[in-house]
Amino acid sequence: MSPTYDVIVVGLGGMGSAAAAHLAARGARTLGLEKFGPVHNRGSSHGGSRITRQSYFEDPAYVPLLLRAYELYEALERDTGRNVATLCGGVMVGRPESRTVAGSLRSALRWGLPHELLDAKELRRRFPTLTPADDEVALYEARAGLLRPENTVAAHLQLATQRGAELHFEEPLLRWEPCRDGVRVHTPENAYTAGQLVICPGAWAPQLLTDLGVPFTIERQVMYWFRPDGGTGPFRPERHPVYIWEDADGVQIYGFPAIDGPEQGAKVAFFRRGVPCTPETIDRTVRDEEVAAMADQLSRCLPTLPGRFLKAATCMYSNTPDEHFVIARHPAHPGSVTVACGFSGHGFKFTPVVGEILADLALTGTTAHPIELFDPSPRFAGDTPSRPTEAPA
């Protein structure tokens, strides 16, 4: 007889670790399976920091989920004593009509979220490291800030274990099939059965979810750390916000204060400017030309930041064609399989609420959270993914 569980969670990264914690909290007999070790850097949930914000330019439909995620992040910090969130404030900068500014304002107004609009002069006065052009403005949100991805995953794994979940690392799912009581899951070590399967595969979605009907594009992304000219003093989190900055061509960068002391510098990256890749073929080397392109972009908006290049690291986005998430019962196996994938470079801030939603879907088949936007069924007819290549950006 193979061991039997209520729910098996596959992938214990950002979303799967949260799902395991929420399932175990509800008393479900939970098994988590992860291909690598705990809190690794080969997927999408590493690199020391992630932005969180509520005035969401992507779509106002995300805001209720964000409000719940903020509550759950607070609870996570309380329950584990780990630092997972620092609300240092954030600015969304660009021309007034840019998606970053106009979209953020739309969500703020739609949901009555506290915010301030700053013109270029006021932005320069408040945050002297930022040098906007005269026709650029910013939406400032005091409740924006940063999350610690590694601490968040570790905190969820800790809670899952404390609440009785069994977590197996270095044990990948090889395949699964429906069986009489639910699903049967095979790994190199064993076979397990469960009533429900929850799949949170990150960048491995194209391999694990071939019959989902979602044309994913996995993208290589680069994070850069610089030591600013004149030191990190003006970049300390007590004085410096997180930022997303859209230029006149629609290119967005985002970045953080210097959160790990003067030696570690401050992190910055392009938002959505990756090249298609696969988890197996991603080029982890960052070239001088890429560093130079980042420094060049910064020269007009944060000119002191690229004083000295310290290091870079790669990470993967799992994009859907419309950049909205996929969170749903698997259309081909609606009775027993739930999926969470395609987070398209903006999922981390939702991690704990996605865990709550996945526990709802696996245990009751439904959720009170608004997730209509994430239903894959009607969205992707006729879309095709871009072909994986490793051409430079």
- Is residue 315 a contact residue for ligand FAD (CB under 6 A)? yes
**CA distance linking residue 48 with residue 200, whole number of Å:** 21
Secondary structure class of 307 (helix, strand, coil): helix
Q: How far is the CB of 48 from ligand FAD (least distance, A)?
A: 10
- Chain Cα centroid distance, residue 172: 22
- Is residue 90 a contact residue for ligand FAD (CB under 6 A)? no
Closest CA to 334 of 365, 378, 302: 365
- Is residue 34 a contact residue for ligand FAD (CB under 6 A)? yes
Q: Point out which span in 29-37, 98-106, 133-141, 356-364 binds ligand FAD (CB under 6 A).
A: 29-37
| Element (DSSP H or E) covering residue 139 | strand 137-141
Q: How far is the CB of 14 from ligand FAD (least distance, A)?
A: 3
| Residue 111 or 169 with smaller CB distance to ligand FAD | 169
Half-sphere exposure of 235 (CA within 13 A, CB side): 29
Selected from 183, 200, 286, 298, the binder of ligand FAD by CB under 6 A is 200
Q: How far is the CB of 121 from ligand FAD (least distance, A)?
A: 28
DSSP 55: S
- Is residue 36 a contact residue for ligand FAD (CB under 6 A)? yes
Selected from 23, 33, 165, 301, the binder of ligand FAD by CB under 6 A is 33
The amino acid sitting at 242 is V
Q: Point out which span in 95-103, 127-135, 326-334, 342-350 binds ligand FAD (CB under 6 A).
A: 342-350
**Are 168 and 143 a contacting pair, CB within 8 Å?**
no
Q: How far is the CB of 356 from ligand FAD (least distance, A)?
A: 14
**Are 254 and 269 a contacting pair, CB within 8 Å?**
yes
What are the structure tokens assigned to 343, written together? Answer: 């987070």
Q: How far is the CB of 256 from ligand FAD (least distance, A)?
A: 9
**CA distance linking residue 339 with residue 362, whole number of Å:** 10
Q: DSSP readout, 261-283?
A: -TTT-EEEEEES--EE--TTT--
- Is residue 221 a contact residue for ligand FAD (CB under 6 A)? yes
Q: Which residues would be at the binding site for ligand FAD (CB under 6 A)?
A: 10-16, 33-36, 43-45, 47, 50-51, 172-173, 200-204, 208, 221, 223, 269, 315-317, 343, 345-349
